[in-house]
């Protein structure tokens, strides 16, 4: 069963969906999903809806809320998608997201909330957890983006952005070289998220060696979203339960590995679980990844917030690694 709900948050009327758990198994820990980029609250391939159904069946009251201007919620939006992504990267939705969470905690008498979602939702959730850690029992981040917007990434990572003569280059050759011979262009090609990656599909190419050479593991790249990275550091060191799920070998997976290694000591963190899903894409719509993601999320939530003591945080134990590979 699902219920349509309305929330008043910071002057905005928000629409959302409540997934009530069976009364006999209801836990005092809620789960809140935010929008993935500009996608409505159901998520790509119904990922958020399916995950909320599954967790509700385990006793977690679950909520999917459309933030202002997204899905069913009214509100102002910028003229371009790029501006929206920049707004999300800068934490533009955090205030209203925090107000929505506070109202849900009050209305449903919950002791705390686990927050997150895919892509931009993970960004908003991490910022919120950093701002109000006492109300955040956990954060789940599917394909998190720790870099600035695509346009800013190209500007920061492209050689043409720093050479006046390069800026004057026109035509197809200029566009190709600006993508190939920049940090960002190489990253997208080596993770096969660049239109030029197909050139190397059938040609012997030391992809991993070049990727390792490109990765300066000891420092943050120029395209890093530094405020978000700092929030990540504090969340990990604070001991907040964190679940990260990425598409193995893809751009956000590789970038997350670099960010984590550069931002934190090379230690194991029992509060962090990182699962890498093979054979899928950024939105988990290939390779059966949505099903795997939902199953892994449900398992993590049940382990971290058991029925007999749902608010306490359990250590994952010495056998759990900070980085795991999910079974296909």
Other C-beta atoms lying within 10 Å of the C-beta of residue 280: 23
Contact 221, 117 (CB under 8 A): no
Per-residue confidence (pLDDT) for residue 169, from 0 to 100? 36
Burial 22-33 (b: 16+ CB within 10 A, else e): eeeebbbbbbbb
Question: Where in the chain are the domains?
Answer: 3-148+224-325, 150-214
Rounded to whole angstroms, the Cα distance separating 42 from 143 reads 16
pTM for the model stands at: 0.79
Backbone phi, psi, residue 259, to 5°:
-60, -45
Nearest Cα to Cα of residue 293 among 54, 20, 129, 35 = 54
Length of the chain counted residue by residue: 328
Annotate 10-32 with DSSP letters as a single string: TTEEEEEEEEPPPGGG--SEEEE
Secondary-structure class of domain 3-148+224-325 per CATH: alpha beta
Question: For residue 7, what is the enclosing H or E element?
Answer: strand 3-9
Task: Tokens for 119, please give them.
Answer: 């892509």
In 3-state terms the chain splits into helix, strand, coil percentages (rounded to 5) of 45, 15, 40
Per-residue confidence (pLDDT) for residue 219, from 0 to 100? 72
Rounded to whole angstroms, the Cα distance separating 51 from 291 reads 9
Rounded to whole angstroms, the Cα distance separating 20 from 212 reads 46
Question: Residue 327: CB partners within 8 Å, gap ≥ 6?
Answer: 292
Q: 112-118 and 323-325: which strand pairing?
A: unpaired
Task: Tokens for 173, please give them.
Answer: 């050759």
Q: What are the 10-residue block averages of pLDDT along the chain, 328 residues in total?
A: 96 97 95 95 95 98 97 91 93 97 97 97 98 95 88 47 34 39 51 51 48 56 91 96 96 91 88 97 97 98 84 41 37
């Amino acid at each position: 069963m699902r219920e349509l709900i309305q929330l008043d948050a910071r002057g905005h009327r928000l629409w959302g969906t409540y997934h009530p758990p069976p009364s006999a198994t209801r836990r005092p820990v809620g789960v809140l999903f935010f929008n993935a980029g500009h996608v409505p609250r159901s998520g790509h391939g119904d990922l958020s809806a399916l995950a909320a159904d599954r967790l509700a069946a385990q006793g977690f009251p679950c909520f999917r809320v459309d933030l202002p201007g997204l899905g069913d919620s009214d509100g102002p939006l910028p003229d371009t998608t790029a501006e929206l992504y920049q707004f999300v990267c800068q934490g533009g939705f955090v205030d209203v997201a925090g107000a929505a969470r506070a109202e849900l905690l009050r209305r449903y008498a919950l002791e705390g909330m686990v927050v997150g979602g895919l892509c931009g939702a993970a960004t908003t959730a991490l910022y919120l957890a950093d701002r109000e850690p006492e109300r955040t029992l956990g954060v789940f981040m599917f394909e998190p983006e720790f870099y600035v917007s695509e346009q800013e990434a190209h500007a920061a990572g492209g050689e043409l952005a720093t050479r006046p003569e390069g800026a004057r280059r026109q035509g197809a050759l200029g566009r190709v070289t600006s993508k190939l011979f920049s940090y960002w262009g190489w990253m997208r090609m080596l993770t096969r998220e660049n239109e030029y990656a197909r050139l190397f599909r059938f040609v012997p190419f030391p992809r991993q060696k070049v990727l390792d050479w490109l990765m300066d593991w000891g420092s943050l790249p120029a395209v890093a979203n530094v405020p978000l990275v700092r929030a990540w550091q504090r969340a990990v060191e604070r001991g907040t339960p964190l679940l990260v799920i990425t598409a193995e070998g893809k751009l956000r997976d590789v970038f997350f590995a670099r960010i984590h290694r550069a931002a934190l000591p090379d230690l194991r963190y029992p509060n962090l679980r990182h699962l890498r899903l093979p054979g899928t894409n950024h939105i988990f719509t290939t390779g059966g990844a949505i099903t795997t993601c939902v199953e892994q999320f449900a398992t993590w939530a049940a382990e971290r917030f058991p029925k007999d003591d749902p608010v306490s945080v359990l250590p994952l134990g010495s056998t759990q690694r900070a980085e795991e590979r999910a079974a296909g």
